[in-house]
Amino acid sequence: MDSYKQRPSSAHDSPYWTTNSGAPVWNNNSSLTVGTRGPILLEDYHLVEKIANFDRERIPERVVHARGASAKGFFEVTHDVSHLTCADFLRAPGVQTPVIVRFSTVIHERGSPETLRDPRGFAVKFYTREGNFDMVGNNFPVFFVRDGLKFPDMVHALKPNPKSHIQENWRIFDFFSHVPESLHMFTFLLDDLGIPLNYRHMEGFGVNTYTLVNKAGKVHYVKFHWKPTCGVKCLLEEDAIRVGGSNHSHATKDLYDSIAAGNYPEWKLFIQTMDPEHEDRFNFDPLDVTKIWPEDILPLQPVGRLVLNKNIDNFFGENEQLAFCPALVVPGIYYSDDKLLQSRIFSYADSQRHRLGPNYLQLPVNAPKCAHHNNHHEGFMNFMHRDEEINYFPSRFDPVRHAERYPIPSNICTGKREKNIIAKENNFQQPGERFRSWPADRQERFTRRIVEGLSDARCTHEIRAVWVSYLTMADKTLGQKVASRLNLKPSM
């Protein structure tokens, strides 16, 4: 028997209990003891193995996006974008690529209610013929911070107080009072969009700016947008309390039940593109993730559709062990100098190596479905079958060669080493425009949520004053309303 052809699978279950090594277990009810009463003997290997495995069932949960649900399906190209990218999976209309998608909440623990006000993750893994492409985004088009150096502090502020383990508004508004670029994100988080009805009825955004590169090497900046065909629907506070009170996993259940019933969730993929030579034409930095690109200038272009038509087979194997990283791109798609993206390229993979081990990309849900070859060797939990004698490169005994070269952005990088903020911050124009675009009742709900947050007893006068100044710079009327309700005088 070739032992390397055997792979652990529940499809090959023994008809009787065994240990992990395959030895038969004749009694899975009672520990081995000295006499009827005990004590228990350490030589009861089955007991020790069973308890030791149980003690290690929980891998470290994600620091963010711990609470999530996954589903499988396909992506189909519906419009020709081959003039923009040489990505094989986007080569022509009609081309289909298998995918797995994970939706999630961001801040709270794995068992937390899915009705909490929180951003939602929207991550898509494309299993392409040229390797995996991970489009890792959220349900909002912008983010809290533009520089990854602030990310750990941002998460700490949004997470529960380390002393009481209670999420507290004063900590959130204190930190973000030092981060004026966050105001735009708060116009999404504290808007009605802050609590999606479920995962099927929410948008998705790539958030970061990537680049598309065509066969000729022409580069375009790109932003990705997912639009649900069933529309965007949200829960107001009263509805969220009612829904969450009856089922804290309502969104996971809705996703699973919908697919099981044949009501397959579907999204349309659109892109916005920009010629890098035109980036200075705007009064903001197009690579700043706290900004949106105006659709009247850079219109949405249809690309394809995403259909989720199969539930995952196992929650742990295809949700908890499912790992995404924005660094995973394919020829024809590349990074930009987006500061937040640049740090995510490292941080996501580093997080997965901590959580799942250095060989997490060998796990079936994360492994590419195309042929692949490298000399990454051994390490914890490496179950790659290797019988080659050559594990170095180059070698005259191994015919493996370099892949064909594909184009990547080749702009010249110049500048001195420095730690600086971007030149065009423009933190308040887009939040103000967004607020003014809402009807009066929606504006009132947003204003109330801001006031409730700033009314925390530990929000100091200084913190409230800073926030009122930010809100006033975004929209004078908004600042006046918040100041009045907090008994503060708005200041510029």
Q: b/e string for 51-81 if b means 16 or more Cβ within 10 A?
A: eeeeeeeeeeebebbbbbbbbbbbbbbeeeb
Contact 60, 355 (CB under 8 A): yes
Q: Which listed residue (132, 138, 198, 319) is catalytic?
A: 138
Contact 9, 392 (CB under 8 A): no
Contact 84, 214 (CB under 8 A): yes
Q: Name the pairing type of β-strands 219-228 and 266-274.
A: antiparallel
Taking Cα atoms as reference points, which of 332, 302, 129 lies closest to residue 211? Answer: 332
Q: Which listed residue (65, 220, 225, 250) is catalytic?
A: 65
| C-alpha 215, offset from chain centre | 29
**How far apart are the C-alpha atoms of 348 and 344, rounded to whole Å?**
6
**How far apart are the C-alpha atoms of 196 and 120, rounded to whole Å?**
8
Output the furthest CA–CA distance in the chain (Å, rounded).
Answer: 85
Does residue 391 carry a catalytic annotation?
no
Q: Who contacts 278 (Cβ-Cβ below 8 Å, separation ≥6)?
A: none
| C-alpha 245, offset from chain centre | 26
- Find out whether 470 is annotated in a ligand binding site: no
In 387-448, where do the E strands start and end? none
Mind giving me the DSSP string for 340-382? HHHHHHHHHHHHHHHHH-TTGGGSTTTS-SS---------TT-
Q: b/e string for 424-453 if b means 16 or more Cβ within 10 A?
A: eebbbebbbebbeeeeeeebebbbebbbeb
Does residue 309 carry a catalytic annotation?
no
Residue count of the chain: 492
Contact 312, 318 (CB under 8 A): yes
In sequence order, the β-bridge partners of residue 133 are 126
**How far apart are the C-alpha atoms of 374 and 393, rounded to whole Å?**
9
Tokens of 365: 């849900």
Q: Who contacts 38 (Cβ-Cβ below 8 Å, separation ≥6)?
A: 31
Contact 448, 192 (CB under 8 A): no
Q: Who contacts 47 (Cβ-Cβ below 8 Å, separation ≥6)?
A: 31, 32, 40
The set of long-range contacts for 402-411, using a CB threshold of 8 Å and a minimum separation of 24, is: 406/86, 406/213, 406/331, 406/332, 407/86, 407/213, 407/214, 407/215, 407/216, 407/217, 407/331, 408/213, 408/334, 409/211, 409/213, 409/219, 409/334, 409/336, 410/217, 411/219, 411/276
**Which residue positions form the known binding site for heme?**
348
Residue numbering of the annotated binding site: 348
Give catalytic residues, as residue numbers: 65, 138
